[in-house]
Structure 1
Amino acid sequence: MELLEVSHNILLVAMSCVVALVAGFTGLSLTRDLGSKPDFEKKALIALAAIALGGGIWAMHFVAMLGLQMPILFYYDAAITLISALTAILIVGAALIILHFTHRTRFTVSLAGAIVGVGVLAMHYIGMAGLQLCRAVYTPLGVVVSSLVAVLLCVLAFGIAYGQRTNRNIFLGTICFAVAVASVHFLAMAGTEFVAVSDGTEFGPLMSNETLALGVIFFSFVIFGACLWVGVTYLPRPADGAAQPQENGLPKTETQLLQVPCERDGGKVFVSARDVVFVRADAHYTQVYTQDERLFCTWSVTEAMKRLCPLGFLQTHRSYLVNPEHVVRFERTKDSGKCVFEGAETPPAPVSRSKLKAIQDALASQVGAIRAT
């Protein structure tokens, strides 16, 4: 059979890459800070993130396919096209469940990335199976290279985005995700030839490029709208602390509402920020100390700083955040200091030399009853 000559519309190729970038940003941003949310809200956000990431993979593929130009008229099987979208969403959803409902380790993060890579591949080849009046002919090299790229780049993307849940890592993970999706598509297409066939094997109704374009435009509009929605959360919020009641220097309503996600005996518990005495860094995670116990927290110290310092917590050391409400005494030595808390079993929190003056002044102004010795 004679191979067909194919070309691509550069504008639509570029647009497909933008769709992948926006979908990655939306999906990875939706899953920020899920540890502090109740299970129902967590499940709902994971479902939305799966739709954004899986649907973004689908939209990227078919935006690029709209730019595919061949000397014959061809159609898409609507049912197979729908199956390709649902497959991507379900596989990505499975990966997100592993990330957010199991203990997160390097292995689980890599496993989730590999699963998403498989989802990209499955979506691509199922979507290509929906072509009618022409048939894709694959080369072994194209399949192998695209498969390796899909898995490796998705593992890298999720390793970066979930290594530490900082804004910087989410942005870098977004770029890696977009590169992964686009690379898989175009590497696979580079190893694909097309031949014309006289009859199709329709599984569902046929769909022209024009009809497909309407669906892709609508879904892309939804993804871009969701991107704007989550993008607002990255903007600095206006300061309105003057309108909130204060108690011992801490905004009462916010500290009561903020729940710090912790683990106790293998189960998830939430501790009110007001009950936290201090937070100590522990590798990529933190230890949360209350007056009664010490708990493991999945937040990094950077994430804890971002959430607790605006509420009045003080960074006394690069590894320590202290709630001044629980400080009963500040002790200073020649080159360092420490914050002492109620209860003999609660260890003191060190104060580094560079922060001595700032911490002593902050405690004096916020707590008032501190006795410096």
Structure 2
Amino acid sequence: MGLEYSHNAWLVLASFAIALMAGFTGLSMARGLSRVPEGQRKLRVAMSAIVLGGGIWSMHFVAMLGLQLPIPFFYDPLITLISALLGILVVGLALIVLHFRRRTPARITAAGVILGVGILGMHYTGMAGMQACRAAYTPGGLVLAGAISLVLSTLAVWIAYWDRTRRNVLMGTVCFAVAVVALHFIAVGTTQFFETDLSGFDLILGNEALAMVVTLAAFGICGAFLLAGATFFPEGEAVAAALPEAPMPERVGADAEPVVVAAKPVEPARGFQPIPYEREGRVLFADPAGVAAIRAEGHYTILYRGEERALCPWSISEAEKRLEGTDFLRVHRSYLINPAHVTGFERRKDTGVVFFDGVASLGKVPVSRSRLTEVREVLGL
């Protein structure tokens, strides 16, 4: 018979909170990476991998600190370190698949499977580090834990990456946390623990030392969580983010920083109003008739026409003011469109989508509920 065990309810809740914070921080840090230079993208992928992988590890060992056995047990420091590095490396591989290749359904699924394998590998490697207590698994328990991890991890990646909206990031965060916590407690629930001899082990990691390490890791995750939350909902015009991410317009130099020209709000101009945009360090002007849409992108604005995407120095609010009296129409808090370029419309419950088949750089634009009636009227629907 195995040893009887229970869990500290507060540490169970703490483990879930850590998984939530790590998931939110890592997924929000990885949001919008296709719009940054490759060097910055690599750095942010590495940071996201550390947060997500470290969050999986921290959640596991917070829960293990809450595991109450009738005997004292310890950990092998090397195996414990390997479990943390394994989680970070495998999560990093999943993020590389998502952010350095064209995102397709097959790649999203592959990334989810890789993430699930990383959670499994981290859990069972961490369990292998237990000393003075041996974990024994059943085939059924291993299969169930594996299925839970792979299915929920894949679901989390699909939710967070199929549509890169803030809502999807939040839902993906919850699904990620559920995947990590469910795998851990289902795996532990199907595991039996047996007392073993501690002789022969000169180097062990006690629960007190482990608690200090996990507390530091949790502190770092909490700090990163606060920073990510502070910028997740920026003031002013936010990114619509209702469409898949697209590459940024080309610039001089692969790692050149985005150049934003500040423009002071002015009263709308009368008559013809050219739209400024940036190319190769110069400010040029576009005929509004040739512009299909203008989109708010965080702290800057993107102009779409034909195959081209370019930075526009106007904010979305100023663009709406300056283009007042033209055919441009506000269809979403982050989009102005030129109806002359619209090639299709689709009603989606109480919102909609307009299509721009002739504008390869744009594709489609969301229509908010408050703008739906006006858009339908302008399109003659």
TM-score (norm 2): 0.69
Residue matched to 1:29:
28
Asked if the contact 2:294/2:337 (under 8 Å) is kept, the reply is no
Give 1:337-352 correspondences, 5 Å limit.
none
Q: Relative to structure 1, is the Cα distance of residues 141 and 352 closer, same or farther in structure 2, using a 3 angstrom cutoff?
A: closer
State the Cα deviation string for residues 114-151 of structure 1 (Å, max 9, x = none): 10000000000000000001100001111100100100
SS across alignment from 2:194: strand
Query: Hey, what's the Cα distance between the residues in 1 that align with 2:147 and 2:315?
Result: 41
Query: Hey, what's the Cα distance between the residues in 1 that align with 2:315 and 2:153?
Result: 32
Q: 1:316 aligns with which of 323, 329, 332?
A: 329
Q: 2:208 aligns with which of 182, 207, 210?
A: 210
State the Cα deviation string for residues 55-108 of structure 1 (Å, max 9, x = none): 000000000000111111111001110100000000000000110000001111
Query: Hey, what's the Cα distance between the residues in 2 that align with 1:355 and 1:191?
Result: 56
State the Cα deviation string for residues 341-364 of structure 1 (Å, max 9, x = none): xxxxxxxx99998259999xxxxx
Query: Hey, what's the Cα distance between the residues in 2 that align with 1:288 and 1:246?
Result: 18
> Structure 2 unaligned runs (5+)?
238-261, 270-275, 296-301, 342-363, 366-370
Query: Hey, what's the Cα distance between the residues in 1 that align with 2:113 and 2:152?
Result: 9
Q: C-alpha displacement at 1:40, in angstroms?
A: 1.2
> Is it true that 1:278 corresponds to 2:292 in the alignment?
yes
SS across alignment from 1:137: strand
Q: C-alpha displacement at 1:167, in angstroms?
A: 0.7
> Structure 1 unaligned runs (5+)?
260-268, 282-286, 298-303, 331-348, 360-373
Q: C-alpha displacement at 1:205, in angstroms?
A: 2.8
Query: Hey, what's the Cα distance between the residues in 2 that align with 1:356 and 1:185?
Result: 50
Query: Hey, what's the Cα distance between the residues in 2 that align with 1:147 and 1:235?
Result: 35
Q: C-alpha displacement at 1:36, in angstroms?
A: 1.5
Q: Relative to structure 1, is the Cα distance of residues 312 and 288 closer, same or farther in structure 2, using a 3 angstrom cutoff?
A: closer
Residue matched to 1:12:
11
Question: 2:235 is matched by which residue type in structure 1?
Answer: R
Asked if the contact 2:265/2:318 (under 8 Å) is kept, the reply is no
Query: Hey, what's the Cα distance between the residues in 2 that align with 1:142 and 1:66?
Result: 22
Query: Hey, what's the Cα distance between the residues in 2 that align with 1:111 and 1:3?
Result: 37
Residue matched to 2:106:
107
Residue matched to 2:70:
71
Question: 1:45 is matched by which residue type in structure 2?
Answer: R
Q: Relative to structure 1, is the Cα distance of residues 188 and 247 closer, same or farther in structure 2, using a 3 angstrom cutoff?
A: same
Query: Hey, what's the Cα distance between the residues in 2 that align with 1:310 and 1:157?
Result: 34
SS across alignment from 2:64: helix
Residue matched to 1:225:
223
Query: Hey, what's the Cα distance between the residues in 1 that align with 2:54 and 2:318?
Result: 37
SS across alignment from 2:3: coil
Residue matched to 1:344:
none
Q: Relative to structure 1, is the Cα distance of residues 199 and 228 closer, same or farther in structure 2, using a 3 angstrom cutoff?
A: same
Q: C-alpha displacement at 1:188, in angstroms?
A: 0.2
Question: 1:245 is matched by which residue type in structure 2?
Answer: K
Q: C-alpha displacement at 1:152, in angstroms?
A: 0.4
Q: C-alpha displacement at 1:199, in angstroms?
A: 3.3
> Is it true that 1:354 corresponds to 2:374 in the alignment?
yes
Q: Relative to structure 1, is the Cα distance of residues 33 and 137 closer, same or farther in structure 2, using a 3 angstrom cutoff?
A: same
Higher helix share: 1
Asked if the contact 2:53/2:88 (under 8 Å) is kept, the reply is yes
Query: Hey, what's the Cα distance between the residues in 1 that align with 2:116 and 2:268?
Result: 48
CA RMSD of aligned residues (A): 4.0
Query: Hey, what's the Cα distance between the residues in 1 that align with 2:7 and 2:208?
Result: 16
Q: C-alpha displacement at 1:234, in angstroms?
A: 2.5
SS across alignment from 1:194: strand
Q: C-alpha displacement at 1:196, in angstroms?
A: 0.7
Aligned residues: 303
Q: Relative to structure 1, is the Cα distance of residues 167 and 238 closer, same or farther in structure 2, using a 3 angstrom cutoff?
A: closer
Query: Hey, what's the Cα distance between the residues in 2 that align with 1:129 and 1:98?
Result: 29
Q: Relative to structure 1, is the Cα distance of residues 308 and 28 closer, same or farther in structure 2, using a 3 angstrom cutoff?
A: farther
Residue matched to 1:161:
160
Query: Hey, what's the Cα distance between the residues in 1 that align with 2:283 and 2:168?
Result: 27
Give 1:123-142 correspondences, 5 Å limit.
123-142=122-141
State the Cα deviation string for residues 151-208 of structure 1 (Å, max 9, x = none): 0001100100101110111110000000000000000001100001113665x83110
Query: Hey, what's the Cα distance between the residues in 2 that align with 1:113 and 1:35?
Result: 19
Q: Relative to structure 1, is the Cα distance of residues 150 and 288 closer, same or farther in structure 2, using a 3 angstrom cutoff?
A: farther
Query: Hey, what's the Cα distance between the residues in 1 that align with 2:66 and 2:33?
Result: 38
State the Cα deviation string for residues 245-282 of structure 1 (Å, max 9, x = none): 258969xxxx868x9xxxxxxxxx9x99987932499x
Q: Relative to structure 1, is the Cα distance of residues 96 and 289 closer, same or farther in structure 2, using a 3 angstrom cutoff?
A: same
Question: 1:230 is matched by which residue type in structure 2?
Answer: A
Q: Relative to structure 1, is the Cα distance of residues 149 and 125 closer, same or farther in structure 2, using a 3 angstrom cutoff?
A: same
Q: Relative to structure 1, is the Cα distance of residues 353 and 20 closer, same or farther in structure 2, using a 3 angstrom cutoff?
A: closer
Give 1:125-204 correspondences, 5 Å limit.
125-199=124-198, 202=201
State the Cα deviation string for residues 290-331 of structure 1 (Å, max 9, x = none): 3xx41599xxxxxx9xx974562687386995578xx9x99x
Identity of aligned residues (%): 42
Query: Hey, what's the Cα distance between the residues in 2 that align with 1:149 and 1:26?
Result: 23
Query: Hey, what's the Cα distance between the residues in 1 that align with 2:177 and 2:200?
Result: 33
Q: Relative to structure 1, is the Cα distance of residues 106 and 184 closer, same or farther in structure 2, using a 3 angstrom cutoff?
A: same
> Is it true that 1:245 corresponds to 2:264 in the alignment?
yes
